[in-house]
Structure 1
Amino acid sequence: LVNVSFVVLVFNINVVSGYNQLHIGGIFPINGKGGWQGGQACMPAAKLALQDVNEKEDLLPGFNLTLHSNDSECEPGLGASVMYNLLYNAPQKLMLLAGCSTVCTTVAEAAKMWNLVVLCYGASSPALSDRSRFPTLFRTHPSATVHNPTRIKLMQKFGWSRVAILQQAEEVFISTVEDLETRCKEAGIEIVTRQSFLSDPTDAVRNLRRQDARIIVGLFYVVAARRVLCEMYKQQLYGRAYVWFFIGWYEDNWYEVNLKNENISCTKEQMRMAAQGHLTTEALMWNQNNQKTISGMSSEDFRKRLNDALIEEGYDISHNRYPEGYQEAPLAYDAVWSVALAFNKTMQKLKEGNIGKTLKDFTYTDKVIANTIYSAMNSTQFLGVSGWVAFSSQGDRIALTQIEQMIDGQYYKLGYYDTQADNLTWFDMEKWDGGKVPQDRTIVRRVLRTVSLPLFICMSTVSSCGIVVALALIVFNIWHRHRRVIQTSHPVCNTIMLFGVIICLVSVILLGLDGQFVTAENYPKVIKIVFTVAEKIHLNHT
């Protein structure tokens, strides 16, 4: 038996004496070595949201929202242990927040047994859209499948109909690839190969080169992405002939950090060279309009507060070096607001229903309050720092997709794609090495190689002169056949020899004929004539 001790962090912001507490559990991936450790930035964002929610007097009147949380390290086993620790230790939790797809899968599948709604701020696995498997799950992070229509749209825009896929062997990426394969088949796009790996991508990347893959979709966590990028450099799978699609939720400097800690055998300069020109797709996680949101802040106001909070947490964010999960921080912030709004709506419904219960009466066996919380969350809509927050019937976040390209070490926005409206907004900012769009395969062009026309004319003229001379000699030989000198020189042999010379010279002209003089239909006839002439020459020679 292994004794595992947990330190539960409790954030109770602005607790006013006499206020009732509404408790929620939080599972944040922070200190793991693999997967997505987005809790590093999402935890401070959630703390900011708690502070703002509890300061808003007209929201949850008479109550304070309290978060109890721990680190899952993006490990599903540890995440399950954290969940059980939260549930089996007082106080009673009304809802769970979770991040990292593998952990959310475990937590959301089990939470239904406690009648708990789970809200994921950092989980993109398409498998989580299965309502029969995850009946109480919602997420402020859009599903990874929202990227696939965007990828298909880009492939069609640039005329790519032959692609390859490289994936890490994780459920989130496996289910994403299955959806991508289906969409590619519907769009008439050929998937030339699908390679997967656990931790070492060396063989998989090498196989891509063998298959002559040019347009490659890569699906993996950021730690694996650095290994893939280094192997790309070693295999020369970058530059003007290749286009890579990467996931857009990596941090902007992801290819330059932790190289020594992860034993990456490439330098920063080599990683920078390999990363040049790749495309990324990501759901919009920051409100693009500088307008006031439900919290009273704009997205820029939130960014400034978050940066200050990260500095207080001890993170060095100078030189644009942000902790993991910085891009998803607005999703965690809006997740807490979603919880508060859902609880507020639940309180109103319970009061209007006259069932004699409040949120404080919730237990893990109370399906009435659980269903009310679910219904309230399902209908929650508001403008947050991540954009308009609303949930589909599968509990998925509805969002636009942003397309970016790495150009000279920086990401530049190329456009946005609205999946529901099938509308691509394009800024014409793309930049390709060599100045033109890369091809999706090795182009084989059939070029007619012909004999040089001046050379053909020259040789035909010489041959014609030779034929004329040979004919003249034949006439001379026949005309003077009675002369003794001619008779002693074997005129018959001379005539036969001269005819052979004529045939040889005619073959020079015939062999010079090609596609510029003879059509493809008539060329076999010319070949037959040439063969016949050559056979006659051979017979004459023998």
Structure 2
Amino acid sequence: MLTFLGCIYCEKKKLYIGVLLELSDHWYVRYTNFFPTVFENAFQGIYNRSDILADYEFEMVIKDTQGKAGLAARQLTEMLTEGPPKVAIIGPTLSDSLTVTGQIVPFYNVIELSYIATTATTTDRDLFSTLFKVNQVTNALNPLLIQMMKYFGWTRVGTIAHQEEFSVSQIDHFHGLLRENNMTLVTSAVISDTSNIRDVLKRYKQFGVRIIMGAFRGKVAPKIFCEVYHQDMYGDSYVWILSGPALFDGWIDVANTTEMGCTKEELIEATQGHFTLDHLRESMSTEPCISGKTPKEVMNELRGFVSETRYTLSTFSSWIYDTPWALAIGLNNSIKYLGESGLQLHNYNYSSEYLDAIVKGMREVRYMGVSDVIIILHV
């Protein structure tokens, strides 16, 4: 028996995807300019499968947000009102931008996929009804922190967050869990810069805070821990627990110690014994994932590609690679629902009928990816 798996020799139908990236005027450009290559690598793997969108191919329409939420909104609107309909939007990567674009896309009946932004704000389904996430949000780490506190018998804690959406949203969620578990939030601080960190830490000492949870970027951490060193808030009497998604590897090594009044050795001493909670971003499985390659093989391939460019491979690359696969599988799932309404994917438009079918298909996404078993999160 022969099974028809798609049109092998005829021209494939195009599905257009809008991609929002920070491609200029932002510190993240050394990473984001390589993202299209990661996407294309995933697309090629999808095209090698005869059971996933066999009659289709993707074309990306990429726009630069410059890391500005307002510009991201403008670029998104232009993307959705100009040219052929976009079957999905991928990105932007920054939490501040995603909280804006994620509230716009439902009004155009289009889905949006997020793969790096970690803000917990986007878990509000009333506001972000068509947003799907491949990665984990930061507040997923908070129940682990609560269990950790219970294990060690800690009941009093202080928190410090840098004034960024993803950090503040995680801290707010953590505060709620403290109340639910009858634990005491002694004091908290949200800092816009580190100029007042000395006063903040003095207050923590006055209140006798010994357990401190911090959510801030690696560029901020050295200045905070330099002051931790000077105020002797480390060692056996203190426990620092840091949120890992915004901390890059080697943040102490690249710290500009000449401008903060601490040596590298003093920073290392101040951070001895701290905990960092983070998500595992690359599967440890040695089995082939959906692409037919092991996670390690895929990542080594991406490292080889980026070595020939002037860019840097993001630590989130497994989620970046898994995103086109999640979209392709979701769209493939949606074909049966579209058929029930007499619709075809290649005639896609911004109607509620198409949106309903695609959302149903996306909710069924489950596969072995580079990052792990992917169950798409409809937030």
The TM-score, its normalising length taken from structure 1, stands at 0.63
CA drift at 1:158 = 1.8
2:357 is aligned with 1:372: yes
User: In the superposition, relative to structure 1, how do residues 79 and 266 fare at CA in structure 2: closer, same or farther (>3 Å)?
Assistant: farther
Partner residue of 2:250? 253
Matches within 5 A, 1:202-351: 202=197, 203-249=199-245, 250-257=247-254, 259=256, 266-315=262-311, 323=313, 325-326=314-315, 328-351=316-339
User: In the superposition, relative to structure 1, how do residues 258 and 361 fare at CA in structure 2: closer, same or farther (>3 Å)?
Assistant: farther
- Per-residue CA deviation, residues 411-436 of structure 1 (Å, 9 max, x unaligned), is xxxxxxxxxxxxxxxxxxxxxxxxxx
2:367 to 342, 362, 382: 382
Q: Bigger CA drift: 330-339 or 185-194?
A: 185-194
The separation in 1 between residues aligned to 2:30 and 2:227, in whole angstroms, is 23
Partner residue of 1:197? 191
Q: What letter corresponds to residue 11 of structure 2 in structure 1? A: G
Q: Secondary structure at the match of 2:115?
A: strand
8 Å CA contact retained: 1:53, 1:59: yes
Partner residue of 1:69? 62
Q: Secondary structure at the match of 1:188?
A: coil
User: In the superposition, relative to structure 1, how do residues 378 and 44 fare at CA in structure 2: closer, same or farther (>3 Å)?
Assistant: same
- Higher relative CO (Cα under 8 Å, sequence separation at least 6) belongs to 2
Partner residue of 2:136? 142
Partner residue of 1:464? none
2:78 to 55, 72, 85: 85
The separation in 1 between residues aligned to 2:79 and 2:231, in whole angstroms, is 47
Q: Secondary structure at the match of 1:312?
A: coil
8 Å CA contact retained: 2:20, 2:62: yes
Q: Bigger CA drift: 227-236 or 192-201?
A: 227-236
User: In the superposition, relative to structure 1, how do residues 31 and 258 fare at CA in structure 2: closer, same or farther (>3 Å)?
Assistant: farther
Q: Secondary structure at the match of 1:363?
A: coil
Q: What letter corresponds to residue 358 of structure 1 in structure 2? A: Q
User: In the superposition, relative to structure 1, how do residues 308 and 117 fare at CA in structure 2: closer, same or farther (>3 Å)?
Assistant: same
Partner residue of 1:488? none
Two-structure CA RMSD over aligned residues (Å): 2.6
User: In the superposition, relative to structure 1, how do residues 265 and 89 fare at CA in structure 2: closer, same or farther (>3 Å)?
Assistant: farther
CA drift at 1:109 = 0.2
8 Å CA contact retained: 2:115, 2:133: yes
User: In the superposition, relative to structure 1, how do residues 153 and 124 fare at CA in structure 2: closer, same or farther (>3 Å)?
Assistant: same
CA drift at 1:340 = 0.7
The separation in 2 between residues aligned to 1:385 and 1:33, in whole angstroms, is 28
CA drift at 1:112 = 0.8
Aligned residues: 367
Partner residue of 1:12? none
CA drift at 1:44 = 4.1
Name structure 1 gaps, 5 residues minimum: 1-15, 316-321, 397-542
- Per-residue CA deviation, residues 218-241 of structure 1 (Å, 9 max, x unaligned), is 012333334323333333332332
Q: Secondary structure at the match of 2:219?
A: helix
1:54 to 47, 53, 62: 47
Q: Secondary structure at the match of 1:256?
A: coil
8 Å CA contact retained: 1:29, 1:38: no
8 Å CA contact retained: 1:125, 1:144: yes
CA drift at 1:49 = 1.3
8 Å CA contact retained: 2:326, 2:376: no
CA drift at 1:120 = 0.4
The separation in 1 between residues aligned to 2:22 and 2:222, in whole angstroms, is 20
Q: What letter corresponds to residue 109 of structure 2 in structure 1? A: N
Partner residue of 2:344? 358
8 Å CA contact retained: 2:318, 2:371: yes
Partner residue of 1:156? 150
The separation in 2 between residues aligned to 1:228 and 1:242, in whole angstroms, is 15
Name structure 2 gaps, 5 residues minimum: 1-8
User: Bigger radius of gyration, 1 or 2?
Assistant: 1
The separation in 2 between residues aligned to 1:226 and 1:97, in whole angstroms, is 33
Q: What letter corresponds to residue 256 of structure 1 in structure 2? A: D
Partner residue of 2:376? 391
Q: What letter corresponds to residue 361 of structure 2 in structure 1? A: A
The separation in 2 between residues aligned to 1:387 and 1:22, in whole angstroms, is 26
8 Å CA contact retained: 2:168, 2:190: no
Q: Secondary structure at the match of 1:240?
A: coil
CA drift at 1:90 = 1.8
CA drift at 1:296 = 1.0
Q: What letter corresponds to residue 136 of structure 1 in structure 2? A: T
User: In the superposition, relative to structure 1, how do residues 38 and 379 fare at CA in structure 2: closer, same or farther (>3 Å)?
Assistant: farther
Q: Secondary structure at the match of 1:131?
A: coil
Q: What letter corresponds to residue 26 of structure 1 in structure 2? A: V
User: In the superposition, relative to structure 1, how do residues 43 and 150 fare at CA in structure 2: closer, same or farther (>3 Å)?
Assistant: farther
Q: Secondary structure at the match of 1:314?
A: coil
The separation in 2 between residues aligned to 1:265 and 1:33, in whole angstroms, is 28
User: In the superposition, relative to structure 1, how do residues 148 and 354 fare at CA in structure 2: closer, same or farther (>3 Å)?
Assistant: closer
CA drift at 1:354 = 5.4
CA drift at 1:386 = 0.9
CA drift at 1:151 = 0.4
Q: Secondary structure at the match of 1:56?
A: coil
- Per-residue CA deviation, residues 97-139 of structure 1 (Å, 9 max, x unaligned), is 1122111111110011111101100122221111111110110
8 Å CA contact retained: 1:50, 1:66: no
User: In the superposition, relative to structure 1, how do residues 181 and 38 fare at CA in structure 2: closer, same or farther (>3 Å)?
Assistant: farther
- Per-residue CA deviation, residues 152-193 of structure 1 (Å, 9 max, x unaligned), is 111112222211100122333333222212222232322111
Q: Secondary structure at the match of 1:122?
A: coil
Q: What letter corresponds to residue 367 of structure 2 in structure 1? A: F
The separation in 1 between residues aligned to 2:13 and 2:261, in whole angstroms, is 55
User: In the superposition, relative to structure 1, how do residues 21 and 229 fare at CA in structure 2: closer, same or farther (>3 Å)?
Assistant: farther
Identity of aligned residues (%): 25
The separation in 2 between residues aligned to 1:222 and 1:253, in whole angstroms, is 9
The separation in 2 between residues aligned to 1:25 and 1:144, in whole angstroms, is 25
2:114 to 111, 120, 125: 120
